[in-house]
Amino acid sequence: MNQTPSACEALSRFFGREAPSGAYLDGAPRATSGPGNPVEDPATTRILTEVAEASAGDVADAVASARRAFETSWRDKRGSSRATILFAIAAAIRAEAEQLAILETFDTGKPLRQSRADIATSARFFEFYAGVADKIYGETIPGERNFWAYTLREPYGVVAHITPWNSPLSLMCRGVAPCLAAGNTVVVKPSEIAPLSTLAVAALFSKAGLPAGVCNMVAGRGPTTGALLVRHPDVAHITFTGSVATGKAILTMAAERVVGCNLELGGKSPTIVMPDADFDVAVQAGAMAVVRNSGQSCTATTRLLVHESIAERYGAEVARAVSGLSVGPGIDDKDLGPLASRVQYEKVRAAIASGVADGATLMVGGVRPDDLDGHFLTPAVLTGVRNDMRIAREEIFGPVQSVISFADEDEAVALANDSTYGLSAGVFTNNIATAHRLARRLQAGQVQINQYPMGGVETPTGGYKESGLGRERGLAALEYYTQLKAVLVAEAPPARRRRPDDRSAPA
């Protein structure tokens, strides 16, 4: 018998019959007493459960617990011992993958197969960084005179992780896995819009052997629980993924204490389609960019810059490619699920309306299917978009694609780089020299050629310009989860120096 999985089942698997506790600290759930934040299923607008917010006291206890764990166990553990535990965490995530995917789908709305891929990626992050936990070291530096020097890569201490709602578990693991591998301990604050998978894995981490206090979780809204965590004097570093506005607010708070930040703040990523590109492959990439997680992805390429000789045909084909797609509850595994919240739904509708008001042509989509009550929108394609329209400047974070035409390569580069963002970019061309030249000319932390999206846990990602600071994924991330110490050693004991007034004394 083929039964649709239920939210209740997934919830009770991880949290029993109670509402999830608003904090997990020192290796155990803790009931919090702050106001309850409703957790909605965006496919039905039904409230799945409520999570009570962590208070100032809970946040202080979580940070104190992480600090204790840092000083008494985790920092001084051998890299190989940390690796063993991180591998066990990956295995624990894989063992619960299906239920975690179901929970993620009910909480965020994303189609089940995309949640399954996210959970697999979450495990991969722990496997990848488990593999490097015993290979984090500095270098030796030859001194010019009478010393030699070496560097050490040391953890910061307690690192705060503030995570978003679009891919909650995989983005949390993306930051936490390298952070723990390097010897830091963490306090995570998941988004109030989709906190469930993060709260669910806390206990799995403990069961896998992670010592108490090494990874604590606190639930709550950003300006309350989030700000308390960011401002806590014992938080030594901050990792944040979310909007530019919140990133700037966090950077400002961090500046007060001179604390570093890894910021991943989204994008308005361009795709350049040259006239010699493989047309069908480029059409597919343009369509899929807004289909994956309904376009709620920081690297979604939502400015399709297309050579004027093919722009009209290209726009029409992308519109055709998205118009046949199915829209429905993520748990039914349609092509597109709902947007993650009502706020997001309204924001996306307003963006489409502004594009039309500014003179773009809505070729298809942008409506809620009659038979669905959740925050659903059919994928929209707008053509005749100009790069100065609001729709081309602001991150929409929804299933909305814009087609902009260009006359030559220089104009394509100028349009691509004319953005406050610089997270990612796509290039479609069959000329290898053009591909490499464009890769160099584009202001983006990542450039993908002839397929989009590509890459996994191994490939560094991060922003140029307002898209962020630091890098996540790959070995590069370790640089941002460690601080460098230089140690200088005299080569020989210093020759006894004469004092100035000894100068006249006989040798």
Q: Could you list the residues that contact ligand NAI (CB under 6 A)?
A: 162-166, 189, 191-192, 221-223, 226-227, 230, 241-243, 246, 249-250, 264-266, 298, 344, 347, 395, 397
Question: Which one of ligand NAI, Mg ion, none interacts with residue 194, CB within 5 to 8 A by kind?
Answer: Mg ion
**CA–CA gap between residue 110 and residue 43 (Å, rounded):** 9
**CA–CA gap between residue 379 and residue 211 (Å, rounded):** 45
Strands (E), 225-298: 235-241, 260-264, 269-273
- Shortest gap between Cβ of 63 and ligand NAI (angstroms)? 14
Binding site for Mg ion (CB under 5 A): 40, 107, 194
Q: Which residues of 323-336 are buried (b: 16+ CB within 10 A; e: fewer)?
A: eebebbbbbebbbb
Residue 497 has, within 13 A of its CA and on its CB side, a CA count of 4
Looking at the Cβ atoms of 221 and 437, the one nearer to ligand NAI is: 221
Structure tokens at 234: 């014992």
Question: Which one of Mg ion, ligand NAI, none interacts with residue 223, CB within 5 to 8 A by kind?
Answer: ligand NAI
Q: 286: closest CA among 317, 312, 258, 257?
A: 317
What residues are annotated to the active site?
166, 264, 298, 472
**CA–CA gap between residue 210 and residue 86 (Å, rounded):** 8
- Shortest gap between Cβ of 415 and ligand NAI (angstroms)? 21
Question: Which one of ligand NAI, Mg ion, none interacts with residue 271, CB within 5 to 8 A by kind?
Answer: none
First to last CA, the chain: 100
- Shortest gap between Cβ of 140 and Mg ion (angstroms)? 51
- Look at residue 400 and give its three-state secondary structure: strand
Closest residue to bound Mg ion by CB: 107
- Look at residue 24 and give its three-state secondary structure: strand
| DSSP-derived pairing of the beta strands 158-162 and 185-189 | parallel
Looking at the Cβ atoms of 162 and 287, the one nearer to ligand NAI is: 162
Question: Which one of ligand NAI, Mg ion, none interacts with residue 221, CB within 5 to 8 A by kind?
Answer: ligand NAI
Structure tokens at 450: 């002839």
Looking at the Cβ atoms of 338 and 468, the one nearer to Mg ion is: 338
Looking at the Cβ atoms of 222 and 384, the one nearer to ligand NAI is: 222
Question: Which one of ligand NAI, Mg ion, none interacts with residue 175, CB within 5 to 8 A by kind?
Answer: none
- Shortest gap between Cβ of 395 and ligand NAI (angstroms)? 4
- Count of other CB atoms within 10 angstroms of residue 367: 14
- Shortest gap between Cβ of 339 and Mg ion (angstroms)? 11
Question: Which one of ligand NAI, Mg ion, none interacts with residue 264, CB within 5 to 8 A by kind?
Answer: ligand NAI
Looking at the Cβ atoms of 104 and 317, the one nearer to ligand NAI is: 104
Looking at the Cβ atoms of 80 and 252, the one nearer to ligand NAI is: 252
- Shortest gap between Cβ of 472 and ligand NAI (angstroms)? 11
Looking at the Cβ atoms of 41 and 61, the one nearer to Mg ion is: 41
Question: Which one of Mg ion, ligand NAI, none interacts with residue 192, CB within 5 to 8 A by kind?
Answer: ligand NAI
Q: Which residues of 81-101 are buried (b: 16+ CB within 10 A; e: fewer)?
A: ebbbbbbbbbebbbebbebbb
Structure tokens at 325: 């797609």
Closest residue to bound ligand NAI by CB: 222
Please state the φ and ψ torsions of residue 207, each to the nearest 5 degrees. -60, -30
In DSSP terms, 140 is beta-bridged to 150
Structure tokens at 8: 């209740």
Three-class SS of 222-265: HHHHHHHHHHCCCEEEEEEECCHHHHHHHHHHHHHHCCEEEEEC
- Shortest gap between Cβ of 217 and ligand NAI (angstroms)? 12
Structure tokens at 50: 């409520």
